[in-house]
Amino acid sequence: MAPPGAAEEEYVSGAQLIAEALKTQNIEYMFGIVGIPVTEIAIAAQAIGIKYIGMRNEQAACYAASAVGYLTGKPGICLVVSGPGLIHALGGMANANMNCWPLIVIGGSSDRNQEIMGAFQEFPQVEACRLYSKFSVRPSSLEAIPAVIEKAVRCSIYGRPGACYVDMPGDFVNLQVNKSSVKYVKCCLPPPVCTAEHSAVSEAASILAHSRQPLLIIGKGAAYSRAENSIRKLVDQCGLPFLPTPMGKGVVPDNHPNCVAAARSRALQHADVIILFGARLNWILHFGLPPRFRPDVKIIQVDICAEELGNNVRPAANLLGDINAVTEQLLEQLVLMEWKYPSYSEWWKGLREKMKSNEETSKALALQKSLPMNYYTVFHHVREVLPRDCVLVSEGANTMDIGRTMLPNYLPRHRLDAGTFGTMGVGLGFAIAAAVVAKDQTPEQRVICVEGDSAFGFSGMEVETICRYNLPVVIIVVNNNGIYSGLDADSWKEMLKSGEPTACAPPVCLLPNSHYEQIMSAFGGKGYFVKTPEELQNALKASLAEKQVPSLINVMINPQSDRKQQDFHWLTRSNM
């Protein structure tokens, strides 16, 4: 009891401090799996207005939280228990760091007074997370929690975005402290917007103006920086061909006449000047090296991260800064020069001829009448029904790669896939994140998650999460009975006659004709098993018409279906 006339002292727990600090930093979403010692943190966060989405696996929870960071520009929170719970989340942290997406993982850990004694799920969590994050810390006291949370949020969004880890000892969660002793901090400021040096912009504009075969490459960094309006102006006013990376699709719509995605190999191999907008010269772009690129190609690199400039290829010009701001600088310089690339050039003529040839090849494959269907037939009929503003989530091998070419994006940040790290298992976590954000921002928007059957298996139980929260997700499983390829049911039975599956089943095979749609039905969603184009379109139309119930469409295709002949394989093997 306080003495007469004295103010009643107010106490607050560690769990409440974390929740209040996150709310102060304008954090909206938390994904996780509760248990000892973090359950109270989730309850406190929910009580203060942060949306908590309980997942079925920490890895999927971490993928979801990182996708929220990309979609909103503010980190999502992944809440996990100690030891194995945190270890399961490391995959999501690594993926966020590689993709440059803001993420904060909060992990419960062993009580401080039990360290080095063999405590329950004891693990060196802060040290382990340093390999997968920009910032990894345990608060020194309850009083320091708000300052630590502010720094974690700031580190996750400043510079090149990435993952941060905050460790929370079990005894901190329910321990209470006098509120007057807490070091409260305000919300961190938005990331500073940096522009490139004027001389570098002038040099880049001059190089571009003297090009004969220019190309813009638009990466997901451009999507993250909200550079769509300025890049669209640059494309339109200067008449430049552009090539989006997988998650750069939609920054400028895929159906824009200057999009040369259908002639990707030709564009990369013959361009003499390339501007990279938030894209890295890594495996996705064949490292910028011959024979995929010209030996004398001039690279103009636009990136927020100085350390990225000059990786693999020495740039002709470095434009360090915010992609949106730098694009506006470059556009202003080109307008002053009154420069526009001619639409009648031999470069445009060659690109358009190659685009037409490749599109005709894909169309011929798509219109094949034989059953089982191939990938191109599936995507052709899906494309005819998809809403223009849907968010596309995709993962798998051929499913994702062919889907990149067949399923268009018209809006920025409307495609999520395996990304820079090539991570399988991200699909349902990403779909859940996109659907949760869509529910708040654009309630009529649908999320279409296109998965290979192998990819679906990584996180298939998240279907229950989708149904529990009644999220507007349609899952399409493109089922070829395997990884890359599989066996049909008859071949599988013949194979089994020769011995035990462990000895004779090809490592790439999965059980033929698995009814994944029944997983969705088991939790109250709608499931469809389809074999023909008509059944596929009917199922997709019915799924999109049903606003309240999630759906899963299990599409059987030819187990030996493959992509069309490639000029260059997507995955480059370097002898560097």
Q: For the chain, list the domains and their CATH numbers.
A: 11-181 (3.40.50.970), 198-351 (3.40.50.1220), 368-556 (3.40.50.970)
**Could you identify the residue written with the tokens 């004295």?**
6
Query: Around Cβ 202, how many Cβ atoms within 10 Å?
Result: 16
Span 446-502, pLDDT tens digits:
999 999 999 999 999 999 999 999 999 999 999 999 999 999 999 999 888 888 888
Short-list 337, 323, 321, CA closest to 198 = 321
| Contacts (Cβ under 8 Å, ≥6 apart) of 137 | 126, 148, 151, 152, 165, 166, 167
| Contacts (Cβ under 8 Å, ≥6 apart) of 77 | 22, 27, 29, 30, 31, 32, 45, 50, 65, 104, 105, 106
- Residue 304 identity: I
**Could you identify the residue written with the tokens 């979609």?**
71
**Could you identify the residue written with the tokens 């991260």?**
305
CA distance 526 to 429: 19
Span 257-291, pLDDT tens digits:
999 999 999 999 999 999 999 999 999 999 999 99
Q: Which tokens belong to 557?
A: 């295709």
Q: Cβ(25)–Cβ(147) under 8 Å?
A: no
Short-list 447, 425, 427, 444, CA closest to 435 = 447
- Residue 398 identity: N
Short-list 352, 402, 343, 385, CA closest to 474 = 385
Q: What is the dihedral of CA 32, 35, 36, 39, to 10 degrees?
A: 70
For every residue of 180-235, DSSP letters joined together read GGS---PPPPPPP-----HHHHHHHHHHHHT-SSEEEEE-HHHHHTT-HHHHHHHH
Which stretches within 293-449 are classed as H helix?
323-337, 346-366, 375-383, 398-406, 427-441
CA distance 338 to 194: 26
Supply the pLDDT for residue 567: 56
**Could you identify the residue written with the tokens 């003529």?**
349
143: left (phi over 0), alpha (psi -120 to 50) or beta: alpha
Low-confidence residues of the chain: pLDDT under 50:
1-2, 6, 574-576
CA distance 573 to 553: 35
Q: Is 125 in a helix, a strand, or coil?
A: helix
Q: Cβ(411)–Cβ(441) under 8 Å?
A: no
Q: Which tokens belong to 299?
A: 């690279």
Three-class HEC string of 466-487:
HHHCCCCEEEEEEECCEECEEC
Residue 186 main-chain phi, psi, to 5 deg: -80, 175
Supply the pLDDT for residue 572: 57
Q: What is the dihedral of CA 298, 303, 309, 315, to 10 degrees?
A: 10
CA distance 79 to 33: 7
Short-list 276, 273, 250, 277, CA closest to 261 = 250
Supply the pLDDT for residue 1: 45
Q: Is 54 in a helix, a strand, or coil?
A: strand
Q: Is 530 in a helix, a strand, or coil?
A: strand
Supply the pLDDT for residue 576: 40
- Residue 523 identity: F
Supply the pLDDT for residue 470: 95
Length of the chain: 576
Q: What is the CA radius of gyration of the chain?
A: 25
Q: Cβ(372)–Cβ(531) under 8 Å?
A: yes
Q: Which tokens belong to 337?
A: 């020069």
**Could you identify the residue written with the tokens 């298996």?**
457
∠ CA 68-71-76, nearest 5°, is 20
Query: Around Cβ 11, how many Cβ atoms within 10 Å?
Result: 11
Q: What's the first-to-final CA gap in the chain, in angstroms?
A: 73
**Could you identify the residue written with the tokens 């750069």?**
248
Short-list 113, 104, 95, 114, CA closest to 145 = 104
